[in-house]
Structure formats: structure tokens, C-alpha cells
Amino acid sequence: AQSVTQLGSHVSVSEGALVLLRCNYSSSVPPYLFWYVQYPNQGLQLLLKYTTGATLVKGINGFEAEFKKSETSFHLTKPSAHMSDAAEYFCAVSGGGTSYGKLTFGQGTILTVHP
């Protein structure tokens, strides 16, 4: 069984400030971890993913996330927020292999960026 918890349903930052969106997971098997972004009226878009190997993964638009097994976390960060980053972000986990597409999502975090 797997679950994902995103701490904070809303996060507000100023333009140029650090973005930190928190994600903790539980999984009975080695997890594959994902961050997706959803803009209004659009489908989910993959930001980045961790499957195996390097624990610090870089994604699109300057985002990165670090897999910390000991903390069961996969927090998403961006050094400097841009107005275009305002969207809803979802953390997700899957069991990999044939279960790869079967994602368990967190509740989502709405990111607001102030000028």
C-alpha cells in the first residue's frame, strides 16, 4: 500500500523567493516518486521523477527534488519563484514495474506567487 501527504494545501511566496513544497510518502515497495504541475484548464504535466540512481533530480522550469529515504520525503524546490510558477502541484508515488502508471497522489498544493 502507498500514500502521499503534501504538507500545506496553499503556499504563497514572493517573486524571486525560494519555493519549497513538501511531500512525504509511505510505500511497502521501493517507490517511484513524481511531481506534477497543473495549470488551470490543463492536464497534469510532469515536472520531474525519481526512479532509481541519483537522489537529487532536476526537472523542468528550474525545479528540483531530493529523495530522502530515511525521511520518506521528496520535497520540491526552486531557488527563485517566477510569476508563471503559480499553479497546483501534485506529488505522487507508484510501485514501479507493471504498477508504474498506477499513481497515488497527494492532496495537491496551490502555489501563489506575489509580485
Partner 1 sequence: GAVVSQHPSWVICKSGTSVKIECRSLDFQATTMFWYRQFPKQSLMLMATSNEGSKATYEQGVEKDKFLINHASLTLSTLTVTSAHPEDSSFYICSGPGTGGLAGVKEQYFGPGTRLTVT
For the four alpha carbons of 21, 46, 15 and 87, in that order, the dihedral sign comes to negative
Of the candidates 2, 79, 90, the residue with the CA atom closest to the CA atom of residue 47: 90
When the beta carbons of 10 and 68 are compared against partner 1, the nearer one is: 10
Instruction: Determine the interface stretch with partner 1 among 11-19, 67-75, 77-85, 95-103 (rule: CB under 8 A).
Output: 95-103
When the beta carbons of 70 and 98 are compared against partner 1, the nearer one is: 98
Provide the 8-state DSSP code for 16: T
Residue 14 CA to residue 60 CA, distance in Å, equals 20
Answer yes or no whether residue 83 interacts with partner 1 by CB under 8 A: no
Residues 40-69 that bind partner 1 (CB under 8 A): 41-46, 49, 51
